[in-house]
């Protein structure tokens, strides 16, 4: 049953990638390379946030959450490790822990990810100082950190947010920044951490 749901989720994702761009203003279709980027074509961060808040973006968020709770998650974690290649895992783990402990709020992200941009905007709008590490801009170190994050949190998607060293998930999942805000738990958590 779970395998069938995971396969259905993957097929839905593939179908979404083929939807004509005229359904999504501001999005230009580009040839798909070996690296799939759902946000390719957006030129401004505001467009990425609008996309993330659209029904399509919400569906992608739901799909990402469903995949993270499926048996495919182990494959995603293995893939992140494979992308990192051979590296000193102990040194990368120490570096990761140093980043996590280095600030009250730390976000591991991708520079063009609409969910990451939304989370950064939310923290900025709340006046929360935070450290953002855009792993896609950090070359090999970013790949190593992502692999270690996957081992630590069982998540490969970004953003991956920590408050006072505690992982809270992403933008909408794990429970996630926006979920915590809607539940009234985010502000008390940030105050307890001394971040606001």
Predicted pLDDT at 43 = 65
C-alpha–C-alpha distance, residues 115 and 53, integer Å: 9
> Which helix (DSSP H) or strand (DSSP E) does residue 99 occupy?
helix 89-101
Q: Strand pairing of 160-163 and 166-169? A: antiparallel
Predicted pLDDT at 52 = 67
Q: What is the DSSP letter of 75?
A: H
> Which helix (DSSP H) or strand (DSSP E) does residue 133 occupy?
strand 131-134
Contact between 57 and 118 (Cβ < 8 Å): no
Inform me whether the pLDDT recorded for 9 exceeds 50: no
SS3 166: strand
Inform me whether the pLDDT recorded for 78 exceeds 50: yes
Write down the residue that tokens 């940030």 correspond to.
Answer: 190
Say which range, 14-18, 81-85, 157-161, has the weakest mean pLDDT.
14-18
If one compares 188 and 19, the residue with the highest pLDDT of the two is 188
C-alpha–C-alpha distance, residues 17 and 26, integer Å: 15
Beta bridge partners of 132: 107
Give the number of other CB atoms < 10 A from CB of residue 143.
20
pTM (two decimals): 0.71
């Amino acid at each position: 049953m779970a395998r069938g749901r995971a396969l259905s989720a993957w097929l839905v994702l593939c179908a979404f990638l083929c939807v004509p761009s005229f359904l999504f203003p501001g999005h230009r279709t580009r040839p798909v390379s070996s690296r799939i980027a759902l946000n390719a074509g957006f030129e401004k961060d505001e467009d990425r946030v609008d996309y993330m808040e659209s029904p399509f973006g919400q569906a992608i968020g739901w799909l990402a959450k469903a995949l993270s709770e499926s048996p495919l998650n182990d494959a995603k974690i293995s893939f992140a490790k494979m992308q990192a290649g051979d590296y000193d895992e102990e040194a990368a783990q120490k570096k990761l822990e140093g980043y996590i402990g280095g600030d009250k709020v730390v976000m591991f992200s991708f520079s063009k990810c609409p969910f990451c941009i939304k989370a950064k905007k939310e923290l900025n709008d709340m006046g929360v100082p935070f450290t953002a590490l855009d792993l896609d801009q950090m070359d090999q170190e970013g790949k190593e950190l992502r692999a270690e994050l996957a081992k630590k949190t069982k998540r490969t998607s970004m953003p991956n947010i920590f408050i006072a060293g505690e992982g809270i998930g992403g933008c909408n999942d794990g429970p996630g920044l926006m979920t915590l805000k809607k539940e009234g738990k985010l502000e008390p958590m940030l105050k307890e951490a001394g971040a606001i």
